Structure 1
Amino acid sequence: MKIAFSSCPNDTFIFHAWVHGLIPGAPELEVTYADIDITNTLAAGSGGPDIIKISYAALPWVLAEYALLPCGGALGRGCGPLVLTSGGAGAAADPKLLSGRRVAVPGERSTAYLLFQLWAAQKVPGGVGEIVVLPFHEIMPAVRDGLVDAGMVIHEARFTYHMYKLNLMADLGSWWEEDTGLPIPLGAIIARRSLDLPALAGWIRASVKYAWEHPEASLEYVLSHAQEMSPAVAQAHIQLYVNEFSENLGEAGYQAVTSLLNRAAKAGLVPKVDLGSGI
């Protein structure tokens, strides 16, 4: 069975047990490791993997072929994307300064960019100027070096942006939570509708539980894919992004996803979708 997910610690931590044949009855996996902007493209094309980690923002375009699984993804509180600038701390706090400016984002169908569009519609008079799509690991250097005026960052950049002497303009996860009272949906796990979806969900849940019960077992695997990330940062990443929603989206999770996509559809940013009640 073919699967595609990122090399980020939360994904490798979650899927370690299944990838290494530790889940009874689960089929062998053939893994493609790719950043979320690449996996979004894989899901949108023909002949994509059986199971894929994608941005929730990309979900409306792939639901004809794929179904949302209720586990294995990234959704939570205090874990949203950040808007960073290189200006002084005082200036960095004023979103109006982004009016007409260049902003780097980690993908046109990333949840980070979708959130940014919803936030900017409220906070940036007249809107921003040019949007520049960059791989997420290039965004902070681009902001630091003045190639863009601001950047949207995700993943472990929450813990490392100070190393680039950057300033926080907005935490879009906090903005979303304050605006809606809901957790923030970031990355979804989807699977081909032709497959046994309840079985897939069961194997993923078993892999999540194994990771929690044997955290030391996945350490070497996680760090080998962590792009020179320190063990401490990798662990902080896992603790932030692997939570109760990783095991089960539940009512609150589905409500958060539905709210995000409905709001985005109303703003004309994504097609309107009906997720149903889940698996």
Structure 2
Amino acid sequence: MKIAYSPCPNDTFVFHALAHGLIEGAPELEVTYADIDKTNQWAAKGEGPEVMKISFAALPWVLDDYTLIPCGGALGRGCGPLVLTKDDVNDSSFLSGKKVAVPSEKSTAYLLFRLWAAQNVSGGVGEIIVMPFHEIMPAVRDGSIDAGLVIHEARFTYKEYGLHMVTDLGNWWEEDTGLPIPLGAITAKRHLNTAKISKWIRESVDYAWEHPDESQHYVMEHAQEMSVEVAKSHIDLYVNEFTRDLGDDGFKAIESLLGRAAEEGLVPAFDLEKLRK
């Protein structure tokens, strides 16, 4: 089975057992490691492997061809994207008319930022620039952009760049909705046996939790010079009960995010019922 997921610690931790033939009855995996922006593009074009990790924000473009797998993804609390600035402004009005870098326009982080800004930035932000994730914090530090939207391990490292947080979009979302933050989704082509795929992924999650040390070499091999401590913090933050099963709260969070985004014209209108089919 061909599959694509990121080299981030949460993905390699979750898929370690499945990728190494440790799940009984599961097929051999042919793994492509790709950042989520790349898999979003592949899914939108109908390209790429049969099973992929993409952003929940990309689902409205691909649900005709892909099914949402109810496990293996990333939702959570206390793990939202951050808006960072060079100076300690501590005031969202600072962003009015300003130049803001984002890692992708088809990401949950971007949707959260736009929904938050609509409520909190009078007059709206200025220019939105799409920039590779690893370039955003240096660009904010060096003053080439006014603010940056960052994700993942930047939660733990932004102070090393001398940056300041304007807002934690995860906290805003949770206070506004009471729901977890939908980040990364596992999708599979609709012609596949998605029930079996769900079973294999769930068993891989269970194996990872039962044997947490077995995956360390695999995780660190792909961790892009991340320290063991940061990798562990990453896993602890993004691998949780929603990874094993979205459950009703997980689906409600996805429906709320994408329903709001569709109302704001940030994603195409689509049938919300397809998220559960």
Q: CA deviation at 1:35?
A: 1.0
Report the CA distance between 1:147 and its aligned residue: 1.2
For the residue of structure 1 that corresponds to 2:101, the secondary structure is: strand
1:230 maps to amino acid: S
Aligned length: 276
Match of 1:111 among 108, 111, 119: 108
1:202 maps to 2:199? yes
Distance in 2 (CA, whole Å) between partners of 1:276 and 1:108 is: 22
- Could you tell me how far apart the structure 2 residues matched to 1:248 and 1:232 are? 26
Cα distance in 1, alignment partners of residues 173 and 245 from structure 2: 21
2:68–2:275: 8 Å Cα contact kept in structure 1? no
- Dislocated runs of 4+, deviation >6 Å: none
- The structure 2 residue matched to 1:244, chosen from 241, 245, 250, is 241
Unmatched 5+ residue regions in structure 1?
none
Say if 2:217 is the partner of 1:188.
Answer: no
- When normalised by structure 2's length, the TM-score is 0.98
Distance 1:44 1:55 in 2: 11
* Structure 2, unaligned runs of 5 or more: none
Task: Give how far 1:134 is off.
Answer: 1.1
Contact preservation (8 Å) 1:261, 1:272 = no
- Structure 1 residue 45: deviation in Å? 1.4
Q: 2: distance between equivalents of 1:23 and 1:272?
A: 38
Which AA in structure 2 matches 1:17?
Answer: A
Is residue 2:80 matched to residue 1:60?
A: no
Give the equivalent residue in structure 2 for 1:31.
31
SS state at 1:71 partner: strand
Is the CA contact (8 Å cut-off) linking 2:84 and 2:150 kept in structure 1? Answer: yes
Shift of 1:278: 2.8
Q: Quick one: distance in 2 between partners of 1:47 and 1:6?
A: 16
Say which of 248, 259, 264 aligns to 1:262.
259
Report the counterpart of residue 81 of structure 2 in structure 1. Answer: 81
Specify the alignment match of 1:278 in structure 2: 276
Aligned to 2:11: 11
Q: 1:178 and 2:140 equivalent? A: no
CA displacement at 1:276 relative to structure 2: 4.4
Q: How much has 1:39 moved relative to structure 2?
A: 0.9
Q: Does 1:162 align with 2:186?
A: no
SS of 2:234's partner is helix
Larger mean Cα displacement after TM superposition, 223-232 or 125-134: 125-134
For the pair 1:214 / 2:211, whether they are aligned, the reply is yes
Output the CA distance in 2 between the equivalents of 1:172 and 1:56.
Answer: 16
CA separation in 2, counterparts of 1:85 and 1:116? Answer: 14
CA contact (8 A) 2:39 2:48 kept: no
Tell whether 2:136 aligns with 1:139. yes
After superposition, the C-alpha distances for 1:123-167 in whole angstroms (9 at most, x for unaligned) are 111111111111111111111111111001101110111100100
Paired with 1:247 and 1:97, the residues of 2 have a C-alpha distance of 40
User: What's the CA shift for 1:118?
Assistant: 0.4
Query: Separation in 1 of the partners of 2:262 and 2:45?
Result: 22
SS of the equivalent of 2:122 reads coil
Q: Deviations over 1:174-210 (max 9, x none)?
A: 0000001111101111000000000000000000000
**Amino acid of the structure 2 residue aligned with 1:49:** P
Question: Following TM superposition, by how much is the alpha carbon of 1:46 offset from its aligned partner in structure 2, in angstroms?
Answer: 2.8
| 1:137 alignment partner AA | H
Query: Which residue type is aligned with residue 162 of structure 2?
Result: K
**Secondary structure at the counterpart of residue 209 of structure 2:** helix
CA distance in 2 between counterparts of 1:31 and 1:40 reads 16
> C-alpha distance in 1, partners of 2:139/2:258?
30
TM-score, normalisation: structure 1: 0.97
Is the 2:85–2:147 contact (alpha carbons within 8 Å) kept by the matching residues of 1? yes
The one-letter code matched in structure 1 to 2:207 is Y
Give the % identical residues: 67
Checking the alignment, whether the CA contact within 8 Å between 1:118 and 1:264 is kept in structure 2 is yes
